[in-house]
Amino acid sequence: MSTIASSGTLPTSNRVLYRFIFTASALFLVWFFGYDQWLKPDGRLDAVLCGHIAASGAAFLRLLGFDSVVGASQAKLILLNSKPAVLVGAPCNGLVLYALFAGFVAAFPGPWQRKLWYIPAGITVIWFLNVLRVAALALNQHYYQSSADFNHHYTFTFVVYGFIFALWMLWARRLATPALQPTAV
């Protein structure tokens, strides 16, 4: 008979795994009922985020010297040289990415003091990547329209999710564990 079976306790690694699964499931339920059932149908949060990402993308393009504005009648539309370039829709406003990132870090074991700064810092990085993505897509649509759909669905998605994965790995490998304290000899 094994020690685990006779003592009735689970190894620490299993407890950590079960805690992660439980926390992630609870956060998913909060997301499902909070966003999918209430905020998404309401649409106001998505509209604000879409408008904000479009305005930030247009401002970034202006910083680079392009003639870019947000549509006067449609706050989610970026115009490049007075021509429609990108319409930021709810699936592309970054909210799901922010929630996915924050949920993983919150559910993953680690000190809350680090989570309290890492989650907002990571969301800021993801927001900036999304603004860059929208600006690049506007340029792609304006100058190389034939590749815009492919880049929107595949290239930019791969790049953004790759960065999010890197942020998760940084959390899991470096920041989730407390720093080792040097021992006095």
Q: pLDDT tens for residues 45-78?
A: 899 999 999 999 999 999 999 999 999 999 999 9
In a domain, 6, yes or no: no
Higher-pLDDT residue of 122 and 40 is: 122
In a domain, 139, yes or no: yes
Per-residue confidence (pLDDT) for residue 177, from 0 to 100: 79
In a domain, 184, yes or no: no
In a domain, 3, yes or no: no
The predicted model gives 166-179 an average pLDDT of 86
In a domain, 109, yes or no: yes
Task: Name the domain count of the chain.
Answer: 1
153 sits in which H/E element: none
Is the pLDDT at 6 greater than 90, yes or no? Answer: no
Per-residue confidence (pLDDT) for residue 82, from 0 to 100: 94
- pLDDT category at 129 given cuts 50, 70, 90 is very high
Name residues whose C-beta falls within 8 Å of residue 140's C-beta, 6 or more positions apart in sequence: 147, 148, 151, 152
Per-residue confidence (pLDDT) for residue 10, from 0 to 100: 42
- Rounded to the nearest 10°, the torsion over CA 110, 114, 116, 118 is -100
Could you list the residue range(s) of the whole structural domain that residue 117 is in? 11-175
Q: Helix or strand or coil: residue 2?
A: coil
Q: What is this structure's pTM?
A: 0.82
In a domain, 58, yes or no: yes
| Spatial contact of 50 and 90, defined as CB atoms under 8 Å apart | yes
Q: Helix or strand or coil: residue 85?
A: strand
Per-residue confidence (pLDDT) for residue 24, from 0 to 100: 86
In a domain, 22, yes or no: yes
161 sits in which H/E element: helix 156-170
Per-residue confidence (pLDDT) for residue 3, from 0 to 100: 45
Per-residue confidence (pLDDT) for residue 2, from 0 to 100: 44
In a domain, 133, yes or no: yes
